[in-house]
Structure 1
């Protein structure tokens, strides 16, 4: 059990206003990925950390037959029927429906329930607000049913929600780090083996999350196109996934597969960078880690082509701001957030410089958060 977070206080208050005292309260964090982008669905390596923003679910059983009711502080109320087999994938409650529906498919019986949701994870910022919701809800429903799952099992179910219910062909990284993060540590994750190894940030550094305040929906053709291109590249290379490819073989792909070659080159080199970054963290080498983050952004911009004007602008500004050791876009791309490794003593000056320069350069206001690595999902008192 863990003490209440700000989002928990709001979720509990919302539940009390609607139905009374909740029986179960659970939290799960968002995440920022330090390096290892678009490698998880290619069976590769990622290096994310949970952040100090939570999504919280307060839940209690009810006797309303098949009907469950959910209230979100951001999106309002929705009713779910336990006999329902599908839902509009664009509806915000599709994440809630998906978790409940797939748990029922595993024989987890929770009956009907009332649920309130509050979050501090910025929605649409590529900080895994959806994974945080799915993981928190799964933890609450499992507790209500008297069941106990390993974090990796919960993460796999939540990935299925994204893939099968919402229609987002994402990998395992987001729900896995939300479910199993260790406080004070980032995690090197082998997305094929689901092996998770904690890594501390270099001494004297802090992570800065840089929100461009631009937004993009990820459930669209651009994301699916990247994944399809990776699959075609793997087929041509004769490997099960691009994790198994060698750079020399990628560079020999024919010009008619130039697009697939660029996508594969990013994945192969990004896996190498991620493993090198984990080693740099073991050696407390902040400069090496920062250089790898910078190189990752170039690869995402030029080979994988998932950056965007706002992301490029804020990364360039960050890299030239006081105390910055390295910076890159983070998440699915095109919009949302970047991440920077910053000297702790210069962190406040860095944040102010980025916000001012970004406003002058783009005309938009950026948000900058400094975050320590947070703990994964937990039940609350």
Structure 2
């Protein structure tokens, strides 16, 4: 992207202008989920990949006499104090506070600190901007404390931030892929064992991320209702989680649990599709993978009811555009992004047709990004080579 200043340089420039050189730079990517939606909190299977958009944290120690300070290029400045009342959950800095606060609960603290944050991950677009921020922050604080945690432990902490501090009852997929993605690969994640199995995209394909430019607030949405419906269905079926249920068992559910039956049907069939998609990737079968993505969108739209008019329109337009092999909504739903598997040699034409078609039906300008699977979170080893 011509003229684009990478987030590492932007975070570093902000930090130097305010406080001088930071002690540590860390980065974590956003993610797009290829298939396996709303299955992670049901102990199921997901198949996400890290994308080539990062959140970068520049962090240094501060004097004990003042609260910790965080500056975001998007949201502004906030003061945090772990020893007093926590920041309100609706505040953007609750994600940063939560990481620091929960690390203190593990006996890990660097005292007062100050940090600057820059990101290329679009906020609220279903590309996991919050997990990227949490993971990048955790990596920076752990490094400054002389600690080294693996991807799984880091992801579990960041999931707790969402669940306990922010109040979002999400699963572990987002922080785990942000923390542990293998470069060049998506990952089949077993959300019960937390095992990650790398999978390559079929040869000659690329992932297109299709931003409808609509946004939602998951904490205030029907996300929690969907999770509660799944838990009710699991209890009725006498299973620990819907991952353990069989499709034929849903026939026994009474009429008054019709909504729970539909939600469970999505989860059970989506787990099956996700495992089949991983097999298709292993075999290099792009057509099979695309067909499974298409079926996943129908299930999310009709059984789980988390799509929306903009997402459905975007998926229809993607299907009609050159080079499209499969397309579906991605993320929590209701708004945000769709994802498409596209023939690499038609990707530019695909992007242009999607943008033109979406503008015609919605009056909005869509953003279309092409991405190969990116690397999970890391420390940036040389501050000096990044010019402000």
Flag whether TM exceeds 0.5 (same fold). Answer: yes
Counterpart residue number, 2:343: 343
Partner Cα distance (1:73, 1:20) in 2: 17
Contact 1:66 1:111 in 2 (8 A): no
Aligned length: 377
Structure 2, unmatched stretches of 5+, are: 383-388
Deviation of the 1:13 alpha carbon: 0.3
Structure 1: which 5+ runs fail to align? Answer: none
Aligned to 1:241: 241
Assess if the C-alpha contact under 8 Å between 2:29 and 2:52 holds in 1: yes
CA distance in 1, matches of 2:361, 2:220: 29
Name the counterpart of 1:156: 156
What aligned pairs does 1:7-156 form with structure 2 within 5 A after superposition? 7-65=7-65, 67-156=67-156
Q: Distance in 2 between matches of 1:85 and 1:99?
A: 15
Query: Residue 55 of structure 1 contacts residue 136 of structure 1 at CA under 8 Å; is this kept in 2?
Result: yes
CA contact (8 A) 1:189 1:196 kept: yes
Aligned to 1:271: 271
CA distance in 2, matches of 1:369, 1:350: 11
Q: CA deviation at 1:66?
A: 5.6
Q: Residues 253-268 of structure 1 correspond to what in structure 2 (within 5 A)?
A: 253-268=253-268
**In structure 1, C-alpha distance between the alignment counterparts of 2:281 and 2:119, rounded to whole Å:** 30
Query: 8 Å contact 1:24–1:58 — kept in the other structure?
Result: yes
Tell me how far apart the structure 2 counterparts of residues 77 and 191 of structure 1 sit (CA, whole Å): 35
Q: Deviations over 1:47-80 (max 9, x none)?
A: 0000000000000001133611010001111011
- Deviation string for 1:276-316 (max 9, x for gaps)? 00000000000000000000000000000000000000001
Counterpart of 1:332? 332
TM-score, structure 1 normalization: 0.98
Cα distance between partner residues in 1 of 2:107 and 2:64 = 20
Matches within 5 A, 1:205-216: 205-216=205-216
Alignment of 1:145-224 (within 5 A): 145-224=145-224
* Cα offset, 1:84, TM superposition: 2.2
Match of 2:370, SS?
Answer: strand
Q: In structure 1, what is the Cα distance between the partners aligned to 2:329 and 2:125?
A: 11
SS of alignment partner, residue 219 of structure 1: helix
C-alpha distance in 1 between matches for 2:23 and 2:141? 11
What do the CA deviations read for 1:314-347 (whole angstroms, capped 9, x no partner)?
0010011100000000000000000000000000
**Following TM superposition, by how much is the alpha carbon of 1:109 offset from its aligned partner in structure 2, in angstroms?**
1.7
Counterparts of 2:275 and 2:368, CA distance in 1: 27
Mapped partners of 2:363, 2:80: distance in 1:
42
Query: Deviation string for 1:227-285 (max 9, x for gaps)?
Result: 00000000000000000000000232111100000000000000000000000000000
1-structure distance, mates of 2:23, 2:61 = 7
Aligned CA RMSD, in angstroms, stands at: 0.8
